[in-house]
Amino acid sequence: MYEVNYIVRRAVEEDAKELAKLILRFYMFNEEFDKAMEVSSEAEEVSLRIAEERIRGNNLLMVAAIDSKVVGYVYGAVLENPLLVRKEIGVLKELYVAPGFRGMGIARALVENASRELMKMGVKYIAAEFPSMNLVAEKFYEKLGFRRFVSIYLREV
């Protein structure tokens, strides 16, 4: 692993096009693990709209950038359950680093920065969502101290 200078920051409007490409790649990558996550033929156009909406929205959206190039992102939300003592749980829904920039600590930095942002919001617990068959993601999150929490089962109807 060699040292690279990157910054992790909140996404801004100027990031939309590069972020949209990463969002699309994230979904295409996850399609490899489960065909139920098959990407639609409109995904390229839709990913730009999603990127723009997320940048303007209130959810957690952070990017990793080298110079001005966005090379990774993390997207999350705060879920609330009034029946629990800790009513709010932060959920990292998407984490992606472009292939040429993996192994540099960028994914870890995105998760750690997202964790700090969620703690500022009063969140005590943070979960991560990813396809069950993605063993790379499972090992990555376990290495960061995450544990199994909820299982979701799917069947075709």
**Domains of the chain, residue spans:** 7-143
Query: Which whole number is the average pLDDT over 31-54?
Result: 94
pTM of the model: 0.92
Question: Is the Cα dihedral 134, 32, 45, 68 positive or negative?
Answer: positive
Residue 150 pLDDT level (bands cut at 50, 70, 90): confident
The reply to whether CATH 3.40.630.30 applies to domain 7-143 is yes
Which of 84 and 98 is assigned the larger pLDDT? 98
User: Does position 58 have pLDDT exceeding 80, yes or no?
Assistant: yes
Query: Which whole number is the average pLDDT over 14-43?
Result: 94
Rounded distance between C-alpha atoms, residue 72 and residue 97, angstroms:
4
